[in-house]
């Protein structure tokens, strides 16, 4: 079992309000189930977290599909829409609220080790790297879509589908008109 308690406690140490929210749930535990491993944490009386024993039943379990993690990281405000939650609804709401508000101040932590200037440059570089990775991901999606649309022709553009539908409708209408004309001509010949 992996322990995230030290990292989360580091974030909680900077946020009295967050610890106060957790104190209301002292003695309860939260389990994040990521299929391949679980993170099971117990809330202490002072609002911090510690590893929960394996015998303890989780008060709330958050089931996370590992394949959803990239989307959850990109859209933090919608992260909880990707999970399934079992257990104490009030505690689940608290965990959801904390996931939205707790943020790691990497610059402050790095400045303690490397100094202020280096910390600013390191975090700026990391942000830029993250941004470039996002842009590369976007370009890859666009290239794959273009390949599937243009080269393999596996996908069809919505405008082409609409145009094809309109053409089918026009052909159907023309066919109906033609059948009615033929019907009228046959009636006029029989008279």
Per-residue pLDDT, 2: 56
Distance CA 147, CA 79 (A): 30
* 12 within 8 A of 48, measured Cβ to Cβ: yes
Please tell me the total number of residues recorded for the chain in this structure.
191
Per-residue pLDDT of the chain (191 residues; tens, 9 = 90+): 557 889 899 999 988 999 999 999 999 999 988 888 888 999 999 999 998 877 778 999 989 888 887 777 777 777 777 888 899 889 989 998 888 788 888 898 889 999 999 999 999 999 999 889 888 988 998 999 889 888 888 888 888 889 999 999 999 999 999 999 999 998 888 87
Going from N- to C-terminal start, the domains of the chain cover 5-101, 105-155, 156-191
Per-residue pLDDT, 84: 87
CA angle 107, 108, 112 (to 5 degrees): 110
Q: What is the pTM assigned to this prediction?
A: 0.61
Of the CATH numbers 3.30.1050, 3.10.150, 3.90.25, 3.40.720, which one belongs to the domain with range 5-101?
A: 3.30.1050
Distance CA 102, CA 105 (A): 10
Per-residue pLDDT, 149: 86
C-alpha atoms less than 13 angstroms from C-alpha of 29 in its C-beta half-sphere: 18
Per-residue pLDDT, 181: 93
């Amino acid at each position: 079992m992996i322990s995230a308690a030290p990292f989360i406690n580091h974030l909680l140490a900077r946020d009295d309000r967050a610890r106060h929210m957790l104190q209301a749930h002292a003695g309860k535990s939260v389990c994040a189930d990521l299929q391949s491993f679980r993170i099971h944490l117990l809330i202490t009386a002072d609002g911090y977290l510690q590893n929960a024993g394996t015998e303890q039943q989780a008060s709330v379990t958050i089931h996370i599909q590992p394949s959803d993690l990239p989307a959850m990281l990109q859209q933090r405000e919608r992260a909880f829409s990707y999970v399934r939650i079992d257990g104490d609804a009030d505690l689940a709401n608290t965990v959801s609220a904390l996931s939205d508000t707790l943020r790691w101040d990497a610059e402050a932590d790095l400045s303690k080790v490397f100094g202020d200037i280096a910390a600013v440059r390191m975090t700026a570089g990391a942000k830029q790297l993250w941004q470039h990775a996002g842009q590369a991901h976007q370009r890859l999606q666009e290239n794959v879509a273009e390949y599937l649309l243009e080269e393999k022709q596996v996908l069809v553009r919505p405008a082409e589908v609409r145009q094809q539908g309109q053409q089918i409708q026009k052909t159907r209408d023309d066919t109906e008109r033609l059948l009615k004309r033929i019907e009228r001509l046959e009636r006029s010949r029989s008279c």
